[in-house]
Structure 1
């Protein structure tokens, strides 16, 4: 696929909207590397307001206009504004489904944490809608979850895997069904972050 073929996946209207959004990015004083959208940006006002000062520069080879990893209550906002912003899946191949992310969010909140999602914000293929893809979840509380919560979150984020292949970093379980399950193991860091899911998922190609 040529570059022209790749970028033509998005309509001219999508490219126009993306360019308009990027032209409305302005840096926030005192927040190096973070931005906000001006009032002229072609995005819903609620999205402009909740992301003010939190927008990080885009990184993906898509019509991504920002990345956000600060605390934003995306589950509540998407439930209220689902017509303005849709969940388009995970960043990259594989990863947990949105229902699992919502369950993990509730588990962390109920355990006294302030969960944060790492998300990309993009213009959809036609330009009519905006999309959110999710790439990680953290406790957001400067504390690690206890083992019980970590195990429950890992279980919530597991995904079915259509192929079975050996891996030193991925343990395959069958749970009594013919479809293998790739459980995501909770990984503790020495900071406040509990990143749960790995890069391997149901859309990955097994090594030959």
Structure 2
């Protein structure tokens, strides 16, 4: 059974590959801002799960003809910080302000997940959920922060940091699932796969050698 990751994130793909699954990557083209604007009263978990489901559904409809019996995984991550749900900063000034606000404090990395199973080109089963991991941030010096901003990494990732990249130098610790901070919770995905009738062990690549 073909596994399709409805995400452009190389980090999510790397997590799956390290865990034995080689997914086909299909980028979902959805208007995230419009989707969020349509649900202003929703909780952080509801918002990110809705985005994950929209991405997975969009890709499922696109590939139904070429991969009629695939399993799709959609994810969306945002940082819940000081009562605000924030995504990718997009520019250095925004990323700098984020880091000034979260340095020495904590935030919750919230990732929504949606697993869709196609049967004969139709969406047959759906399972959704979210995972939350508390992140304890360090206090980078001004010079360290400027150097980090100059790499461009914090501009294009949820919450302006990574755990598995350069941002890992500035994370003191986490409480919860580390794979969720990277962008895809392996324990949660295993449960969601089971909910649509798929054993994760059946998706592992065969051993070589």
TM-score, with length taken from structure 1: 0.28
Which of the two has higher C-alpha Rg? 1
TM-score by length of 2: 0.27
- The higher relative CO (CA closer than 8 Å, separation ≥ 6) is in 2
